Chain A
Amino acid sequence: MSTEQQLFAESLESVGVETRRVPPAGVTDAIAELLVGDTVAVALDRDDVSIPDAVTVDPTPAELHAAQTGVTPAAFAIADYGSIVLPSTAVGSELVSLYVDHHIAIVDEQDIVADMEHAFDRFDREMPDAYGSAIVATGPSATADMGSLVTGAHGPSTVGVVVVEG
């Protein structure tokens, strides 16, 4: 593992995110292990990985509404914060990662950048063309407004990350 990958793994752990690091062929099983209940997904943009059959890819709004878990690809990840960058796309990545109680993000090992500075280099390069909007998401949604820290305020209460080797 490179330093970045190592750091990313440690940061994810400290923000309470469960991680699987697998070769492309292992992605299906990794998702299957992490998902909870009815699961919907956004199509992954690579041919060598697949999503478990039980998962509804490209769901209808009603299916999304009923689902407990959402699977989406991440644009990239930021090692020292344990953040995943979720692009807002026309196929509804933002909805599938947000309107569920459990979110699973799939990120390519090559797409782990070291720190915020590198992340913003990348935003600057990619944002105008590849996607206009993105969320830097770190750990689950949380609030302290009700007297103590609670996860799962409006967004997911748990987050899992599958890092694809190679």
Chain B
Amino acid sequence: MATEGDAVRTNTQGFNQGRYESVADLDEYETVKDEARTIKEDAIDRLPELIDQLRSTVENNGGTLYLADDAADANRYVRTVVGDGSEKTVVKSKSMTSEELNVNEALEADGHDVIETDLGEWVLQVAEETPSHIVAPAIHKSRAAIAELFEEVFSPTEPLETAEELTVFAREKLGEWIQEADVGMTGANFIAADTGTIALVTSEGNARKTVAGTDTHIAVAGVEKIVPTVEDLQPFVELIGRSGTGQDITSYVSLLTPPVETPVIDDTDEETPLSEIDDDREFHVVLIDNGRMAMREDDDLRETLYCIRCSACSNVCANFQQVGGHAFGGETYSGGIATGWEAGIEGLDVAGEFNDLCTGCSRCVDACPVNIDIPWINTVVRDRINQGHEENFDFLVDGLTPDNEAGSPPLQKRFFGNFETVARLGSTLAPVSNWLAETTVSRQLLHRLLGIDPRRDLPTFHRRTLIDRFQDRETTVDTPRRRAVLYPDLYTNHVQIERGATAVRVLEALGVDVAVPSVPSSGRAPLSQGMITTARSHAERISDTLAPYIADGRDVVVIEPSDLAMFEREYERLLDPAAHERLATNSYEIMEYVFGLLENGADDAPLRDGDGTEVAYHSHCQQRTLDVEAHTVAVLERCGFDVLTSDVECCGMAGSFGYKSEYFDVSMAVGDELRDQFTAPETRERTVVASGTSCLEQLDSLLERRPTHPIELLVDRSPTE
């Protein structure tokens, strides 16, 4: 798959790191996010009313509001304002909405000159390329590439090399255009309905000049940009720069209530002082529906309209960091939330082209300043795409894919979505199934039929599952301090049996009465393939199976973080509220549980003394989103281990993602970052531990050392055992 190399990766990772630092400085970050979310929910809820209010405000201020149904309608209006009588110069500041409209082409067809004045946008205009990032559009272009481009197109008298030289060159060229310009076009980050004030968040000053330097101002914006009042802008002003490029605030936040009062000047005027020059200006705000009002009615896509286009979800995304927004994006928008935008604006086809790049790792969930459940939007859209898909593989589908899907998802998705059946069969037929799977013929078949990359090792199934081993066994604890169910996730049950057995041993050593009942898989596998109906039936079966245990006073202890995330996050969408609440509040990640036991007085003597053993730890994406990664570190440190933690957002495997041939390279490129961290001089010798099954598999293929689950470090191997 096409990737865009180092520039995208370095820049997005820089922005992402900046975000962590900048939001840490904001008091009450979570509260401000909640405020922002509430404002957006309310605004979208009352949108028709706010549009009416804004219309009268704008008209009272002396401007015009045009509500366009779609791009063609918006462009028609803009063309009328610019006028088709004579050729005009239109200068623009950066606006993704104008990209969505392709307004430049529409105006150029009328003979007008349209100039992008944002330096990044201008580079792309010169290069005839499209933005690859919603905030930093030319992020994929290195300084050297820009220098080469300018050299080729402009043949400057002095060679341009440094970023300063390139900036000065661009500034001068663009300055001339701005001087000539007749019309200034901007976007709008937010528009307050009560005063008609537009907020423009920029750093270069080109948006200011676009407005101040022309006598006609056209602002184009999606209808979702309206907020009720000027005061509502406050949380957004505090969040948008931090969330995007990691700046506390960008150089300029223009709060314009157009038409602005600034004198309209002619630079050659040597007579008239500024104070005597008129400020006659026309102002038009063009609000664009283009599918948004329908998204507003769509319970799953509605959240997309809360998006403030900050780009945090792109920057935090390990896959985006590798491939950039041309591959991970649609017609206009890119990154995780682009699936929602493109599905709503362009349709499922466009969204389907890149939607599978979202692995559901959920790292964007905490990053989003308006708390949008971006992975859920991706899952829903994937499900809708599956529904419309037709594929005929009945001979295999019947036996291997007993799912509940009404449509016919692609075979690869059905295979991974029904992995529970595969695992069950694998265990029943083990070890023959393992030998069979590893033959060249089967690997080729798996590759051809299912797109499973032959370079991946396949899991080795065990005939005797964890459930087989522990289901009927009596507890060894007489007076338990707590009672729990150890949730036998798919992998622990069929593949990583020893890890499960160790978990039982550790829990019992800490005084917990452990049961390992026969429970279905969580539904993570079908959910990640966009098979929501199937995932829901898993959720319901899990809930029914575990309810009596919970009612009986047992906690649910989960080894696999992505399954815990199902119980705590995704089940909210799949179960009724009471069932979700019951499971979510009673479930714990295993190391979180051990931490709780130790904090509440359990004796740590039976646990192994780490005695300064040096450990390199990679926590699971979803574990971090749930805020339960610190517990592992705390437990290990308490047991005397010396822990160093990775800071990559994802290992790259992300469930079935890394197995798929088409994503193998991306998966390994993401993994390389983790490899680099864990082969650096300070980590090279450390024991590698990771919490997620996928992470462990990925680390196993990345490193020569064998990684292990942290729970396995806690087993006392001392002679007193």
Contacts and interface: CB of A to CB of B under 8 A. Distances in A.
B138 A145 contact: yes
Interface in A88-102: 88-96, 98-99
B171 interface: yes
B58 to A, nearest CB: 12
Contacts of A128: 195
A149 to B, nearest CB: 8
B119 A153 contact: yes
A90 B281 CA distance: 12
A142 interface: yes
A135 B208 contact: yes
Contact of A147 (B166, B238, B269, B275): B166
B432 interface: no
A129 to B, nearest CB: 11
Contacts of B263: 90-92, 95
Interface stretch (B245-253, B446-454, B683-691): B245-253
A60 interface: yes
* Interface size class, chain A: 35 or more
Interface in B486-508: none
B412 interface: no
B255 A127 contact: yes
Contact of A146 (B61, B167, B197, B268): B167
A133 B257 contact: yes
Nearest to B123: A145
Interface string A129-166: 00111111111111111111110111110000000000
Given A64-B274, A92-B263, A116-B234, A81 B120 contact: no
Interface string A44-87: 00000000000000111111110000000000000001010000
A117 B208 CA distance: 24
Interface stretch (B225-233, B288-296, B392-400, B434-442): B225-233
A16 to B, nearest CB: 11
Contact of A143 (B61, B204, B209): B204
A132 B167 contact: no
Contacts of B277: 61, 92
Interface residues of B, number: 66
Given A95-B263, A127-B197, A146-B146, A60 B272 contact: yes
A138 B251 contact: yes
B475 interface: no
Given A58-B274, A81-B248, A146 B257 contact: no
B271 interface: yes
A81 B197 CA distance: 22
B118 A145 contact: yes
Contacts of A92: 262-263, 265, 274-275, 277
Given A92-B277, A95-B274, A131-B261, A155 B268 contact: no
Interface stretch (A22-30, A31-39, A118-126): A118-126
Contacts of A121: 231
Interface string B196-234: 010000011110110010000000000000000111011
Given A60-B272, A89-B261, A136 B237 contact: yes
A140 B175 CA distance: 17
Contact of A154 (B117, B120, B250): B117
A155 B231 contact: no
Contacts of A143: 119-120, 167, 203-204
Interface of A: 42-43, 58-65, 81, 83, 88-96, 98-99, 116-117, 119-121, 123-124, 127-128, 131-150, 152-156
16 contacts: A61-B265, A61-B268, A61-B269, A62-B268, A64-B265, A64-B267, A91-B275, A93-B262, A94-B262, A116-B237, A133-B197, A146-B123, A146-B146, A148-B163, A150-B167, A154-B117
Interface of B: 11, 61, 117-120, 123, 136, 138, 142-144, 146, 163-164, 166-167, 170-171, 174-175, 195, 197, 203-206, 208-209, 212, 229-231, 233-234, 237-238, 245, 248-258, 260-263, 265-275, 277, 279
Given A143-B204, A147-B144, A147-B166, 20 more contacts: A60-B273, A92-B265, A94-B208, A98-B208, A117-B234, A120-B230, A120-B237, A123-B255, A127-B195, A133-B254, A133-B261, A138-B249, A140-B251, A141-B203, A142-B203, A145-B136, A146-B123, A146-B170, A154-B117, A155-B252
